[in-house]
Amino acid sequence: MVSAKVSRGTAFGAALLSLLAVSAQSAVAAPAAPAAPAKPAAPSAPAAPALSAPDPDALRTALRAALANGAPGAMARIDDSGSVLRQTEGIADRATGRVMDTDDRFRIGSVSKTFSAVVLLQLVDEGALALDTPVNTYLPGLLDPRITVRHLLSHRTGLYDYTNDMFAATVPGFESVRNRVFTYRELLDLSLAKPPTVTPGTTYSYSNTNFVVAGMLIEKLTGKDVGDAYRKRIIKPLDLDDTFYVHPETAIPGRHVKGYLRPDEAGAPLVDSTRQTVSWAQSAGAVVSSAEDLNTFLSALMRGKLVSGTALAEMRTWTPVNSTQGYGLGLRRRDLSCGVSVYGHTGTVQGYYTFAFTSADGKRSITSFANTSNNGTVLNTLPRTLEAAFCGVPPVKAANTAKTAKTVRSTTADGSAVERYEDIAPGIARQ
């Protein structure tokens, strides 16, 4: 089943040329050296091209590809300077057959990391925290004394990601923690039992453990739980009516998408993974939200409504991930085939894949989603929704006609970036 709707007019005008500040952020930064690990530097680059109008047909094709490869449903919402494009495919609930709806709530997984980073950057703005101060200053004796707050938020601590072990066997691992409630310290101890993956302050090494410690910092500095910080500092100021931190409750409030986890065994039936505590993630991935709320959140962030200009510049100082991606402070940058860079985060929690990204000026945002996980083929359909939203004409068309598409390494045939790893158990490749 397909549904598409355009609000406040069907035409999307081409966006204005991105702010000049983007030019300093679009290039991938060199990693910081061990001897001076404060932060990476960001060399200048040519200004990004103007945005083309979104391509609804390419967006629909990407969503249908998610279904063809095993997702029960998929959806996307684009907010573009007051205009809204909504598209859905498939179903939100296999038991009832209810169709997917872009107003549905869902688990956003590691997009939660951007919420946590915003709270910590607000604390930096308030003088309660300093990015280049060792974490042990605030949480004495917790970590290697070389690890700073900046290292946490940029995934440069070397702290082992405990989810690699927890979910090495996908469904058994999930069932063992579905209803379990962890303390932050229990999760951290799982990580500290393993040797570090990199020297603190050097290269990027994605780890959920980093944002577990971020949650510990938030609670230490605010005297409240993480959910309280999200509500007071982000959810209420932005009127995010569909956004919740329900941990350790297992239910998603209101009308929501059910998540379906693919087992490792070929041909095994999908597992309904909707109800769970997500206590294995907490401040690293336990937020519930909607497509509209995520677009509002990321747009507000890039427009400077949540943190100071200085703090936002820190968030947008990039550590290299690969040839087409950089990681800032709780924020991903993805470089698309048309030369445009977009900003946001990806998210995986069992049964849910989310991509939420916005333009440099926050004027155009997309959240795309599929209700499955442990399926690398479905995961690779979602970068195509970014191409449709921000590049407009599909990359293959552009290459064959105007020859204007930027060459991107590590891409699929249509020009979108290849995803081999999820945000949970990031050391395990997904097929």
HEC secondary structure over 113-128: HHHHHHHHHHHHHCCC
Number of alpha carbons in the 13 Å side-chain half-sphere of residue 116: 35
- Tell me whether residue 407 is in a domain: no
Tens digits of per-residue pLDDT, 181-211? 999 999 999 999 999 999 999 999 999 999 9
- Tell me whether residue 399 is in a domain: no
- Tell me whether residue 397 is in a domain: no
Domain count, the chain: 1
- Write out the chain's pLDDT in tens, 431 residues: 444 444 433 333 333 333 333 333 333 333 443 444 445 544 444 455 789 999 999 999 999 999 999 999 999 999 999 999 999 999 999 999 999 999 999 999 999 999 999 999 999 999 999 999 999 999 999 999 999 999 999 999 999 999 999 999 999 999 999 999 999 999 999 999 999 999 999 999 999 999 999 999 999 999 999 999 999 999 999 999 999 999 999 999 999 999 999 999 999 999 999 999 999 999 999 999 999 999 999 999 999 999 999 999 999 999 999 999 999 999 999 999 999 999 999 999 999 999 999 999 999 999 999 999 999 999 999 999 999 999 996 545 444 433 333 323 345 544 555 788 999 999 998 88
Residues with active-site annotation: 110
3-state SS record for 387-425: HHHHHCCCHHHHHHCCCCCCCCCCECCCCCECCCECCCC
How many whole angstroms separate alpha carbon 43 and alpha carbon 45?
7
Predicted confidence at residue 144, as pLDDT, reads 98
- Tell me whether residue 175 is in a domain: yes
**CATH code of 180's domain:** 3.40.710.10
- Tell me whether residue 76 is in a domain: no
Tens digits of per-residue pLDDT, 50-106? 899 999 999 999 999 999 999 999 999 999 999 999 999 999 999 999 999 999 999
- Tell me whether residue 255 is in a domain: yes
Give the range of the structural domain holding residue 378, as residue numbers without chain letter.
33-53+105-388
- Tell me whether residue 431 is in a domain: no
Predicted confidence at residue 412, as pLDDT, reads 53
296: enclosing H helix or E strand: helix 291-302
- Tell me whether residue 154 is in a domain: yes
Predicted confidence at residue 389, as pLDDT, reads 98
The CA distances from residue 392 to 146, 165, 286, 296, in Å, are: 45, 40, 32, 21
